[in-house]
Amino acid sequence: MERNNRLLIIDDNRAIHDDFRKILNSARTLSNSHDEAKEALFGEASGKDFTCADSFQLDSAYQGESGLGLVQEAVKQGRPYAMAFVDVRMPPGWDGVETIQKIWEVDPDLQVVICSAHSVYPWNETMTKIGHSDRLLILKKPFDAVEVLQLACAMTEKWWLLQETKRSLHALEDRVRERTSELTAEITERKGREAALREAEAKIRGVFDQTFQFIGLMTLDGVLIEANETALQLANVEKSAVLGKPFWETPWWTHSREMQERLRAAVKEVAGGKAVRFEATHPTGDGTLHHIDFSLRPLRDQAGNVKYLIPEGHDITERKQAEQERAALEVQLRQAQKLEAIGQLAAGIAHEINTPIQYIGDNIHFIEESFNALAGLLQEYQRLAAAVRSNTVTPEVLSAVESSIQKADLDYLSKEIPLAVQQSLQGVGHVSRIVNAMKEFSHPGSTEKEALDLNHAIEMTVTVARNEWKYVAEMVTDFAPALPPVPCLPGEFNQVILNLIINASHAIGDVVRQVEGSKGTIRISTRLDGAWVEIRISDTGTGVPEEIRHRIFDPFFTTKGVGKGTGQGLAIARSVIVDKHGGTLTFESEMGRGTTFIIRLPVTDSAGAGKEA
């Protein structure tokens, strides 16, 4: 805010106005005459002169009423005066005290110096009329020029400081209101979350108790600590009768010593981290023997340690009774369920596995045929050995051996069988890598973040998606070797990488189909950038048109043809990276050259708590 040096002089004596103007407009530095005389007499400098660095804008009024009018107009225009020099006596109109009272009703912030040659009002009477105020000073006539200049500078500075204080107070009040609003919203949100949590807990408990599954919770040594209503109803027992007991000593198992021992062994095995599933039976009071599909699984904490055991059971009695009639239907149903679970990548994965399996099968057939040939040769060797032992070797025996050697083509088999074995082992390794990659990719993982090797996760996803890109692009990876583990939700991170790779392969496919036999390039790189890890996925596709770039992360927005995209991939990817991981997902694109998606993830959760600088 600019300094306000607007001054108003209200005095009925025009000569006084001229004096003020000479002092305030002409004299930048004024010295007291006493100081000058002292310097002349004693030859020494006086104290520091008073200096005011500001210039003043002066307006004059010769009566209190006209002065009030100027003040009103100045306030109306938003250009108020900072101070006013007001004479005490201004006949025939208002005197100075009444003028000040009227002016302060219009502009309470105006700083006033009341000027008087003699005392018209005693000071206490003046204060009674005006009231005690830090906005009022008295200047007696005749006044000193330095004193006038000091008062002008000090009072305008005081006016400016008052305005600064008001602005600071207004800003503080605004911030208090803003923060109060924020806190109110936070409290409302927190209460909403707590209510939602209570509701979710009630829903989970309702599902736990009302599901048709028999579900419980056990300690690592097999003591039952929770059981749902469905399980209790099957055994017709109260919860208090079974909780705190070893699971194998509860009514679900006491009918069979064999089942009890099998459960004991399963508890030990599952406490070590494995999962166990078998078919159990339970007789009810009406004599019905129920067949239960029983499983026992470990429940791990965030560190991967087994903390509890989860027993689950499903009554399959009706299914067992109708098993023979619908066996064929169940086979088809299981197959359909498997295909649904495998999902979109099924065909590509099958193709990737089929190629090595074919040459593994061919090599095994070759080894089988070779073994048959060698078996005939071994029989001739056995006959020769028997003839040697009995000293009855004849030309016919030797001829038969030589014939078998030629028939088996021993030199050829000696070279080809090891090659066939080596190729088969390579094929098995290739299939194993694909299966392991698919297993890691599709594993649901934890609902909590865990330290993830991003390079390994990306490499596994590239393997899983190989059939999507290998026909249209070469895959180039450039992984930073010393990349630290990053807290991630593995399944969701893998899905983001898969979506971006598939998008890149589709973009390149639109280009290479125009030139038969050509391929583009997908390049994936990782690097450490301070407290962040950066992942770049680039393609040599068509690029993203300028006019749709602002919509690329919108849900359901897609430029792909019907059946080739839902418009959810990039929207979900952005939600996962930004909302769930505290990172950023951006892109750079150039038409005709391709697009690069840039993922930035914080190395620690605390690094992602705020935005990047």
Q: What order of strands is seen across the sheet that includes strand 111-116?
A: 57-61, 6-10, 83-87, 111-116, 136-140
With tokens 């599954």, the residue in question is: 213
Asked if pLDDT for residue 59 goes beyond 80, the answer is yes
Spatial distance between the Cα atoms of 205 and 228, rounded to a whole number of angstroms: 9
Residue ranges of domains in the chain:
6-166, 211-325, 344-436, 443-602
Strand pairing category for 520-529 and 473-478: parallel
Picking from 308, 289, 206, the residue whose alpha carbon sits closest to that of residue 247 is 308
Strand pairing category for 57-61 and 111-116: unpaired
pLDDT category, 121, cuts 50, 70, 90?
A: low
What pLDDT sits at residue 333? 35
pTM of the model: 0.37
pLDDT tens-digit profile of 170-197?
Answer: 999 999 999 999 999 999 999 999 988 8
* Tokens of residue 54, six digits: 């500001």
Tabulate helix, strand, coil % of the chain (nearest 5).
50, 20, 30
With tokens 């005490």, the residue in question is: 88
pLDDT category, 351, cuts 50, 70, 90?
A: low
Residue 382 phi/psi, 5° resolution? -65, -40
Picking from 210, 206, 253, the residue whose alpha carbon sits closest to that of residue 230 is 210
* Tokens of residue 502, six digits: 């598939």
Task: Please say whether the beta carbons of 57 and 24 come within 8 A.
Answer: no
Asked if omega into 92 is within 30° of 0 (cis), the reply is yes
Residue 504 phi/psi, 5° resolution? -65, -45
User: How many other CB atoms sit within 10 Å of the CB of residue 158?
Assistant: 17
Average pLDDT over residues 458-485: 89
* Tokens of residue 369, six digits: 């045929």
- 257 by Cβ neighbours in 10 Å (0-12 / 13-18 / 19+) ranks as exposed
Spatial distance between the Cα atoms of 555 and 551, rounded to a whole number of angstroms: 9
What pLDDT sits at residue 440? 60
Alpha helices in 409-553 (DSSP H): 410-442, 454-464, 466-469, 490-512
- The overall longest dimension of the chain from CA atoms, in Å, is 164
**Sign, Cα dihedral of 481, 487, 490, 496:** negative
Q: What order of strands is seen across the sheet that includes strand 532-539?
A: 473-478, 520-529, 532-539, 594-602, 584-590
Q: What is the dihedral of CA 83, 88, 91, 92, to 10 degrees?
A: 70
pLDDT category, 567, cuts 50, 70, 90?
A: low
Picking from 232, 224, 235, 226, the residue whose alpha carbon sits closest to that of residue 205 is 226
pLDDT tens-digit profile of 215-274?
Answer: 899 999 999 999 888 888 888 888 888 899 999 999 888 888 999 999 999 999 999 999
User: How many other CB atoms sit within 10 Å of the CB of residue 327?
Assistant: 9
Asked if pLDDT for residue 345 goes beyond 70, the answer is no
Which one-letter amino acid corresponds to residue 102?
K
Spatial distance between the Cα atoms of 319 and 558, rounded to a whole number of angstroms: 45
| Most confident option among 77-81, 327-331, 497-501 | 77-81
Helix or strand run (H / E) with residue 327: helix 327-342
Spatial distance between the Cα atoms of 466 and 373, rounded to a whole number of angstroms: 40
Between 575 and 55, name the one with better pLDDT. 575
Asked if pLDDT for residue 594 goes beyond 70, the answer is yes
Average pLDDT over residues 321-340: 48
Strand pairing category for 6-10 and 584-590: unpaired
Spatial distance between the Cα atoms of 389 and 150, rounded to a whole number of angstroms: 138
What pLDDT sits at residue 475? 93
Spatial distance between the Cα atoms of 294 and 280, rounded to a whole number of angstroms: 6
How many Cα neighbours within 13 Å face the side chain of 3? 14
What pLDDT sits at residue 387? 80
Between 32 and 497, name the one with better pLDDT. 497
Q: In whole numbers, what is the pLDDT of the chain averaged over residues? A: 81
How large is the angle between the packed helices 395-408 and 410-442, nearest 10 degrees?
Answer: 40
What pLDDT sits at residue 370? 73
What pLDDT sits at residue 445? 56
Picking from 367, 369, 374, the residue whose alpha carbon sits closest to that of residue 421 is 367
Q: Does domain 443-602 have CATH number 3.30.565.10?
A: yes
How many Cα neighbours within 13 Å face the side chain of 311? 29
Average pLDDT over residues 49-74: 83
Task: Please say whether the beta carbons of 520 and 508 come within 8 A.
Answer: yes
The three state secondary structure string of 169-226 is HHHHHHHHHHHHHHHHHHHHHHHHHHHHHHHHHHHHHHHHHHCCCEEEEECCCCEEEE
Instruction: Choose which CATH entry (3.40.50.450, 3.40.50.12780, 3.50.50.60, 3.30.450.20) describes domain 211-325.
Output: 3.30.450.20
| Cα angle for residues 80, 84, 88 (degrees, 5° grid) | 145
Asked if pLDDT for residue 587 goes beyond 90, the answer is yes
Q: Does domain 6-166 have CATH number 3.40.190.10?
A: no
pLDDT category, 140, cuts 50, 70, 90?
A: confident
What pLDDT sits at residue 444? 57
Residue 481 phi/psi, 5° resolution? -70, -30
Percentage of residues in the chain having pLDDT higher than 70: 81
Spatial distance between the Cα atoms of 258 and 338, rounded to a whole number of angstroms: 33
Going from the C-alpha of 188 to that of each of 49, 182, 191, the distances in angstroms are: 63, 10, 5
